[in-house]
Structure 1
């Protein structure tokens, strides 16, 4: 479900030709406002660069639902395919990295910080991890597997690859710092 990584790569790669000022103009003003409120409350972060902002999933309903689960502290993990990082020649997420989570329209909803990163085969995802990613304990693993299998399968078709039970999943655990 967290093909957020793919979306982030696509957004970043499409912005490479733009200047920093052009990129900032495209960002919803709420993103900068949230970062400023956060750093005013936590001055030890004032010198940090404003984190990247993005939303989970690829549609409005899921993006907004997942952003709300992050705000509520229920969603504490995100998943992406290892192959996405490999294809994009991108580094895996790093512990300590902050992100500003938005709704589908780009309105800032929360600031998160990566706490742990694991790479696990799809068929070895645990019930505990699935609950953190899905934001629910109600049949979390079954829901996680269905949602992620469907999404990974559809995105892999674009590159003419097939999903497998042992495909590697990058599991990013995070903490909601703000609000």
Structure 2
């Protein structure tokens, strides 16, 4: 996860103007996209304005802008319906694991909102137990399990936090999602 934006804790006065502008873009995106998640006007319960409802977290895929752009395009095309992360990434950041039914705004590599997704399933398995079917759902490369393992082993070796080493037993959070709202 990179370029995270959590609207529940965001303080526009505490960040540079460029980050505040990107955050405003995420909020505007949410205003238009939330109806696709079945969340039309909810003013009776939460308030009369969109700002009275809390949008979901926003984040980008991958460790760099180019990879983030490539992967969000795969989501928009329908090729990517799953993603994976090392469990230790969540533990190190003291972040909750994704849950089925949760929404997220996917950003491109530059931090612009491009898609609204809903998590449909989450399971944590050892790296060696990730299936061919899951590798195909990740929508990367040729879709084979062999390529998934090669690419993800390299990625995890490069990005695992201090005190963590890659192994075939590395717990991997496997998340499946559906695209609710594209923005091109």
* Distance in 1 of aligned mates of 2:171 and 2:21: 33
Give secondary structure in 2 for the equivalent of 1:44.
coil
Spell out, residue by residue over 1:44-102, the C-alpha distance to the aligned partner (whole angstroms, 9 max, x if none). Answer: 34445211211101112211010101111110111111122223332211111111111
* 1:134, distance to aligned residue in structure 2 (A): 2.8
1:148 aligns with 2:140: no
* Distance in 2 of aligned mates of 1:150 and 1:29: 35
Change (3 A) 1:35 1:168: same
Question: Computing the radius of gyration over CA atoms, which structure comes out larger, 1 or 2?
Answer: 2
Instruction: Judging by fraction of residues, say which structure has more helix.
Output: 1
Query: Which of these residues, 48, 61, 69, is aligned with residue 56 of structure 1?
Result: 61
* Distance in 1 of aligned mates of 2:137 and 2:90: 22
Change (3 A) 1:12 1:35: closer
Give secondary structure in 2 for the equivalent of 1:151.
helix
Spell out, residue by residue over 1:107-157, the C-alpha distance to the aligned partner (whole angstroms, 9 max, x if none). Answer: 111100111000011001101000111346x3421221111101111123x
Change (3 A) 1:70 1:46: farther
Query: What TM-score comes out, normalization by structure 2 length?
Result: 0.78
Unaligned regions of 5+ residues in structure 2, if any?
43-52
> What residue number does 2:25 align with?
30
* Distance in 2 of aligned mates of 1:53 and 1:21: 19
* 1:160, distance to aligned residue in structure 2 (A): 3.8
- RMSD of aligned alpha carbons: 2.7
Query: What TM-score comes out, normalization by structure 1 length?
Result: 0.80
Unaligned regions of 5+ residues in structure 1, if any?
none
* Distance in 2 of aligned mates of 1:43 and 1:82: 30
How many residue pairs match? The answer is: 168
Query: Which of these residues, 98, 117, 121, is aligned with residue 112 of structure 1?
Result: 117
Change (3 A) 1:29 1:147: same
> What residue number does 1:75 align with?
80
